[in-house]
């Protein structure tokens, strides 16, 4: 079964507005199947999780189903899948829980490549504990995060290394497994931001070496909430603040208040949708792997054209040129403010906003201050026509 972008596009009601959406790194458009799963869950009889009524059992099935869907997407233990409001929120929660036994003199490693949600919670938790924060920069030209530069900041006092599996501005895909191995050698835990990688590539949490990995379904065609995955045994050892009557089981211990059942049903539908994009194999994990590989190929082809096109326009400055990357371009146009560029593109029906996109350390490190640059990211529904429209729009702005 092959990947058919025309067929894919028919599943996305939003695309009927004729806009070329390049803002998927900020949040992807949603297929009808996901929206319908959300609506179905909200309109069926629903109660809090339980076993007595059909409505209770429905809520229970939604939660159990969503944990298994995430487990199939990321190859992890469904018993270690935590649902949260956002990746930012769950990272803050976990940072406070992990930092309970950090002491003065302990060390935490963060990078300038990361979205602030995988920096600030650790910096603030470290400050409260009297721990030292060690910063790893990336190469300004290539956008690469070097394993050796991370290793240089490790010591026997390192408690945690937090880094991204893919930069949401430069697209850089660091060697996660090698960095994780170095961190583990030093006795540290590894917290990986998977938000920007998971929409673009097959992911295996164990192969990445992540002890904890966070992501956001709204970046991979699903609804707005966050996910954390870790081995249940690791989560057992953490004790976040919780209410007296709420469950102390893992993963429920980390899920404060009532879960958004309808969104979880949407996330299961998003995983099913991704799994079915280019595979009809038997089990969902196999379909996920085949389909994500097909999405990767589709996006790589379009991205090669996008990069070539941008490089050929005089006045366009592209940031970063990493060897392994997601299909995400970050650029400025000489003589135009970012806002002007984004507005002109929007007027031409091309959505490619400009910002630091919360990768504020990366933007400053690149010399882009708090202004950032224009970002154009691809999604499974992007087609060649979208790319040509973006290039024509940028050429006009530059001209
Ligand atoms: C790479 C990356 N990490 C983390 C986040 C934060 O995700 P959330 O909005 O779920 O907190 C984003 C959102 O843009 C992101 O792109």
Q: Is 116 in the pocket of ligand 1 (CB under 6 A)?
A: no
Looking from the CA of 116 toward its CB, the CA atoms found within 13 Å total 11
Encode pLDDT of 199-228 as tens digits: 999 999 999 999 999 999 999 999 999 999
Q: CA–CA separation, 28 vs 11, rounded Å?
A: 13
pLDDT surpasses 90 at 1: no
The CA 195 to ligand 1 mean position distance, Å, reads 6
Structure tokens at 134: 């060690």
Residue 134 and residue 82 in contact, taking contact as beta carbons nearer than 8 Å: no
Structure tokens at 23: 């803002």
The CA 327 to ligand 1 mean position distance, Å, reads 17
Encode pLDDT of 325-368 as tens digits: 999 999 999 999 999 999 999 999 999 999 999 999 999 999 99
The CA 373 to ligand 1 mean position distance, Å, reads 17
Q: Whose CA is nearest to atom 7 of ligand 1?
A: 87
Q: How many angstroms from the chain centroid is the CA of residue 16?
A: 26
Distances (CA, A) of 68 to 11, 62, 78, 130, 366: 24, 10, 5, 38, 40
* pLDDT value at residue 16: 98
* pLDDT value at residue 218: 98
What is the DSSP pairing of strand 226-230 with strand 212-215?
antiparallel
Q: Is 291 in the pocket of ligand 1 (CB under 6 A)?
A: no
Helices then strands, each counted (H, E), the chain: 14, 13
The CA 155 to ligand 1 mean position distance, Å, reads 29
Structure tokens at 378: 């691809």
Q: Is 196 in the pocket of ligand 1 (CB under 6 A)?
A: yes
Average pLDDT score over residue span 174-200: 98
H-type alpha helices, 101-202: 120-129, 147-151, 176-185
Residue 317 and residue 302 in contact, taking contact as beta carbons nearer than 8 Å: no
What 3-state DSSP class applies to 23? Answer: strand
Q: CA–CA separation, 323 vs 42, rounded Å?
A: 44
Q: Is 91 in the pocket of ligand 1 (CB under 6 A)?
A: no
Left, alpha or beta for 351 (phi > 0: left; psi -120 to 50: alpha)? beta
Q: Is 263 in the pocket of ligand 1 (CB under 6 A)?
A: no
Tell me the pLDDT of the chain averaged across its residues: 98
Q: How many angstroms from the chain centroid is the CA of residue 302?
A: 21
On the question of a cis peptide bond just before residue 251, with omega within 30 degrees of 0, the verdict is yes
* pLDDT value at residue 338: 96
Q: Is 114 in the pocket of ligand 1 (CB under 6 A)?
A: no
Structure tokens at 384: 């060649």
Encode pLDDT of 262-311 as tens digits: 999 999 999 999 999 999 988 999 999 999 999 999 999 999 999 999 99
Q: Which atom of ligand 1 is nearest to the CA of 164?
A: 1
pLDDT surpasses 90 at 195: yes
195, 215, 229, 263, best to mutate for ligand 1 pocket (most atoms within 8 Å of CB): 195
Q: Is 195 in the pocket of ligand 1 (CB under 6 A)?
A: yes
Structure tokens at 85: 């409001």
Encode pLDDT of 43-97 as tens digits: 999 999 999 999 999 999 999 999 999 999 999 999 999 999 999 999 999 999 9
Residue 23 and residue 13 in contact, taking contact as beta carbons nearer than 8 Å: no
């Amino acid at each position: 079964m092959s990947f058919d972008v025309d067929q894919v596009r028919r599943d996305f009601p939003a695309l009927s507005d004729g806009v070329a959406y390049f803002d998927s790194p900020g949040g992807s458009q949603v297929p009808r199947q996901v929206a319908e799963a959300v609506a179905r869950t909200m309109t069926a009889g629903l109660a809090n999780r339980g076993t007595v009524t059909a409505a209770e059992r429905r809520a229970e099935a939604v939660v159990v189903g969503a944990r298994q869907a995430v487990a199939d997407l990321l190859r992890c233990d469904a018993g270690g899948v935590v649902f949260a409001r956002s990746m930012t929120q769950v990272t803050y929660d976990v940072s406070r829980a992990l930092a309970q036994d950090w002491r003065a003199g302990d060390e935490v490693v963060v990078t300038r490549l990361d979205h602030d949600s995988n920096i600030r919670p650790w910096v603030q938790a470290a400050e409260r504990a009297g721990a030292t924060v060690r910063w790893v920069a990336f190469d300004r030209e290539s956008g690469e995060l070097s394993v050796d530069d991370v290793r240089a900041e490790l010591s026997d006092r390192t408690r945690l290394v937090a880094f991204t599996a893919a930069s949401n501005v430069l697209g850089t895909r660091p060697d996660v497994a090698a960095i994780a191995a170095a961190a583990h050698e030093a006795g540290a835990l590894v917290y990986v931001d998977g938000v920007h990688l998971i929409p673009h590539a097959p992911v295996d949490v164990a192969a990445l070496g992540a002890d904890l990995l966070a992501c956001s379904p709204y970046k991979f065609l699903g609804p707005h909430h966050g996910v954390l995955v870790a081995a249940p045994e690791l989560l057992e050892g953490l004790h976040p603040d919780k209410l007296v009557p709420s469950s102390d089981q893992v993963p429920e211990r980390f899920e404060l208040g009532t879960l958004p059942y309808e969104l979880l049903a949407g996330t299961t539908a998003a995983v099913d949708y991704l799994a079915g994009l280019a595979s009809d194999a038997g089990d969902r994990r196999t379909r996920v792997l085949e389909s994500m590989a097909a999405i990767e190929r589709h996006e790589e082809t379009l991205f090669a054209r996008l990069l070539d096109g941008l490089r050929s326009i005089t006045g366009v400055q592209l940031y970063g040129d990493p060897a392994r990357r997601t299909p995400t371009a970050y650029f400025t146009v000489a003589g135009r403010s970012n806002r002007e560029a984004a507005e002109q593109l929007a007027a031409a029906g091309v959505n490619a906003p400009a910002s630091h996109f919360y990768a504020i350390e990366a933007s400053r490190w690149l010399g882009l201050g708090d202004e950032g640059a224009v970002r154009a990211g691809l999604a499974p529904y992007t087609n060649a026509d979208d790319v040509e429209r973006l290039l024509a729009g940028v050429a006009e702005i530059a001209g």
